[in-house]
Amino acid sequence: MSKKQIPTGVEVHGGMLRIWFMHEGRRCRESLGVPDTQKNRKLAGELRQSVVYSIRTGTFSYEDSFPNSSKVVKPESGMTVEKLFNTWLGIKRLEISDNSLIRYRSTVDCIIRALGAGRKAEDVKAKDLSVMRNELLEGAQFKNTDKFGRSVVTVNGYLSKALTVFRFAKDNGYVDTDITESVKMLKTSRQRPEPLSNEEFDRLISACRCRQTTNLWTLAVYTGLRHGELAALAWEDIDLVAGTLCVRRNITTAKLFTVPKTDSGTNRIIQLNVNALHALKSQQEITRMGKKHEVNVLTRQRGKSRTDSCTFVFNPSFGSVSGRNGICYSSSSIGHSWNVAIRKSGIQHRNPYQSRHTFACWMLSAGANPYFIASQMGHSSPQMLYQVYGDWMPGNNSEQVELINAKIMQNVPPMPHAATSFR
């Protein structure tokens, strides 16, 4: 039979029909156990449509729809690790955004592989969680899928999810004992910001390969935008006459458009300084009259999105021969341009996020109000500034001392002169 006659979501596997669908952030396949005939194809397509509809409306039950599936745990077999984590994620998915669900799904799948999908949850001990933590850190391979060790911060994120799920298991009677109390997170050291000095910034800009890259990193340093916000920035968000920029969206590593990272960072108005304005006016000549795109932006409410019309400020196809670079930059491609300029400039290597740190440190060193800086960066309060950027940049210490000395001299009370005798 013609492949074109196969309904969407229906596949032929081993001469039998099966359907696939997305459930809780991952692709699921279920064999129907019927031969490949035209009539069965039609019935399979109708079944798949019914499953997708029930998932969208929140009425889907795996046990009821596919009672013989390997993904369904029979009551007598006990709660497996895979079933436990998927049960928790099934409840959690209504509390988080679609983008967060993708990240949660990836984390949960890794933990399931590490602990063993078919293992009974009640058989998992505190030692097993500690071993999983150590193996993730050291890069042990689980079924040849995990080749490299992860950072301490990443491992702690995985472990935190695992502990949350096993507390959930204890609270809901899936396991009898709480194994989470004796499992310790890995210690982390606070990473100090490494902002660029004025001289280093000049060298970085001089090393940029084209005017667009120069404009991009000038705007990044003088606004403190997150790189996902920078990549998703559109001319529709900018008022060059008023000198303002509105942050409305972000693009994730999965190339999904979402609202900015925090509530306080959404629709925030950035006041553009003279250098940021100059960069945008220069970029305006390159991309302002470019093609407008309709993009789907995921909101924080589960299943809700909006459509934005965007003429992107930074266009990766500009100067490209093939023109196959997508409608806008991604966080990773922006970071690549930074790394190229860093190497070419010869300055000390820093990760691309230091552009944001540079903005914060420069503003603090200039004496800007911390509340104003926090609002520009999308923080709800300056508390984060005090914790991360408490130290002045070494290159500006002398200026601060001079400022303090000038203020002190203004407040010094007049002192009487020593008496002088005349002979």
198-403, which class in CATH? mainly alpha
pLDDT at 388: 80
CB 115 within 8 A of CB 136: no
pLDDT at 57: 85
Of the chain, the end-to-end C-alpha distance in Å amounts to 127
Q: Are strands 257-258 and 293-298 parallel, antiparallel or unpaired?
A: parallel
Give pTM, 2 decimals. 0.66
Residue type for position 247: V
pLDDT at 127: 94
* Separation CA 415–CA 238 (nearest Å): 56
DSSP 3-state of 271:
strand
**Residue 107 pLDDT exceeds 70:** yes
* Separation CA 339–CA 334 (nearest Å): 9
Angle formed by the axes of helices 354-365 and 370-377, nearest 10°? 160
pLDDT tens, residue by residue, 294-313: 999 988 777 788 999 999 99
**Residue 151 pLDDT exceeds 90:** no
pLDDT at 394: 46
pLDDT tens, residue by residue, 34-90: 899 999 999 999 999 999 988 888 888 888 888 888 777 554 457 899 999 999 998
pLDDT tens, residue by residue, 247-280: 999 998 878 899 988 776 678 999 999 999 999 9
Q: Which residues are catalytic?
A: 226, 261, 356, 379, 389
**Residue 242 pLDDT exceeds 90:** yes
Residue whose tokens read 């820093």: 350
Note the CATH architecture for domain 75-171.
Answer: Orthogonal Bundle (1.10)
* Separation CA 32–CA 50 (nearest Å): 14
pLDDT tens, residue by residue, 53-65: 888 888 888 888 8
- H or E stretch including 309? strand 305-310
pLDDT at 95: 79
Cite the DSSP H helix spans in 149-301. 152-171, 198-206, 211-223, 227-231, 274-287
